[in-house]
Amino acid sequence: MDAGISPGQSPAPQDFAQIFRLIGGYRISQALRVAVELGIPDHLAAGPRHCDDLATTTGSHAPTLYRLLRFLAGAGLLDETSPKQFALTPLGSTLRADIPASICPVVRLWLSESHWQSWSHLLHSVQTGQHAFDHAHGTGVFDYLREDAELSAIFNATMTTSSARLANALLKHYDFHGIGRIVDIGGGHGFTLTTILADHPTMQGVLFDLPDVVAGASLEAIGGTNRCEIIGGSFFETVPADADAYILKQIIHDWDDDQSLAILRNVRVQCQDMLGFC
């Protein structure tokens, strides 16, 4: 197989450029995070603005903000329409907080201090098989979230955003007919469950997640609690009974094999009657 470069031969300039882009990707990530934290995409939603004006609005150091905005323009998120005047590009508009299923919570979660630090421990993870997050913070991600209300809100909003993006495909490609009662295990704030219930008016639902998570659940899409019970608990202990179907969406990937088996066994126990095995 061709390794690409012969001994003594220099890499092609375009390969160098590409590898530099890959190495420096973290700079773009952080620039993007700062833009979202300062609300730059929202401040530009109504049209182009001067850098100094944006600096006043966001309480930033104007010359440094100018460098950031030019960097973001280089990344294709902004246009410098006239000197020091910036506008959103269509790509940059996707970072607005006020659009449906905004990606802002994802930016704020993935690039938060806690996640950023854990990625800097990736080498440890690869060498030991241990979780980088636990190594960086001395605790697992869900225990960490319990202690940090602001990050927890961002995490749950991220899950709602990702569920909103999948909802139509889920309803289109899975046949939920015939299910009388469905339980969403680790269902977060309930977006997926209420989307399914809204589409199936006679179905009953149970939203199950950690107590502090379900405390923030929204059942607005189905008009409240008439058709949906909310239960707080841990899927490592037990899961709600008497259901025709269980959803575990974006759950198993969070855990190692033993933990995943423990969760699935707890679901299996509740399925025994339904499936006729023990």
What residues are annotated to the active site?
253
Number of residues that bind ligand SAM (CB under 6 A): 18
- Closest by CA to 114, choosing from 130, 131, 99, 102, is 131
Q: According to CB under 6 A, which residues from 191 to 230 bind ligand SAM?
A: 192, 209-210, 213
Comparing every residue's Cβ against ligand SAM, the nearest one is 186
Which position among 57, 250, 259, 272 is part of the footprint of ligand SAM (CB under 6 A)? 250
Give the separation between CA 64 and CA 201, rounded to whole angstroms. 54
Give the separation between CA 39 and CA 6, rounded to whole angstroms. 48
Q: Sheet of 204-209: strands edge to edge? A: 228-232, 204-209, 181-185, 245-247
Per CB under 6 A, which region of 40-48, 79-87, 97-105, 244-252 contacts ligand SAM? 244-252
Tell me how far, at minimum, the Cβ of 186 lies from ligand SAM, in Å: 3
Per CB under 6 A, which region of 37-45, 61-69, 96-104, 157-165 contacts ligand SAM? 157-165
Tell me how far, at minimum, the Cβ of 130 lies from ligand SAM, in Å: 18
Closer to ligand SAM by Cβ: residue 179 or 252: 252
249 binds ligand SAM (CB under 6 A): yes
Grouping H, G, I as helix, E, B as strand and the rest as coil, residue 112 is coil
Q: How far is CA 82 from CA 63, 79, 235, in A?
A: 16, 9, 56
Tell me how far, at minimum, the Cβ of 213 lies from ligand SAM, in Å: 4
Closer to ligand SAM by Cβ: residue 198 or 210: 210
Could you tell me how many helices (H) and strands (E) the chain has, helices first?
A: 15, 7
Give the separation between CA 247 and CA 187, rounded to whole angstroms. 8
187 binds ligand SAM (CB under 6 A): yes
Tell me how far, at minimum, the Cβ of 21 lies from ligand SAM, in Å: 29
Closer to ligand SAM by Cβ: residue 28 or 166: 166
Per CB under 6 A, which region of 30-38, 184-192, 196-204, 264-272 contacts ligand SAM? 184-192
For ligand SAM, what does the binding mask look like between residues 131 and 150, x meaning CB under 6 A?
A: -----------x--------
Per CB under 6 A, which region of 84-92, 100-108, 215-223, 249-257 contacts ligand SAM? 249-257
Give the separation between CA 114 and CA 154, rounded to whole angstroms. 12
Instruction: State the DSSP code for 87.
Output: E
Which residues lie below 8 Å from residue 125, measured CB to CB, with a gap of 6+?
131, 132, 135
Tell me how far, at minimum, the Cβ of 99 lies from ligand SAM, in Å: 19
Give the separation between CA 203 and CA 183, rounded to whole angstroms. 11
**Dihedral of CA 98/102/103/107: which sign?**
positive
One-letter amino acid for residue 94 of the chain? T
Residues that bind ligand SAM (CB under 6 A): 142, 159, 162-163, 186-188, 192, 209-210, 213, 234-236, 249-251, 254
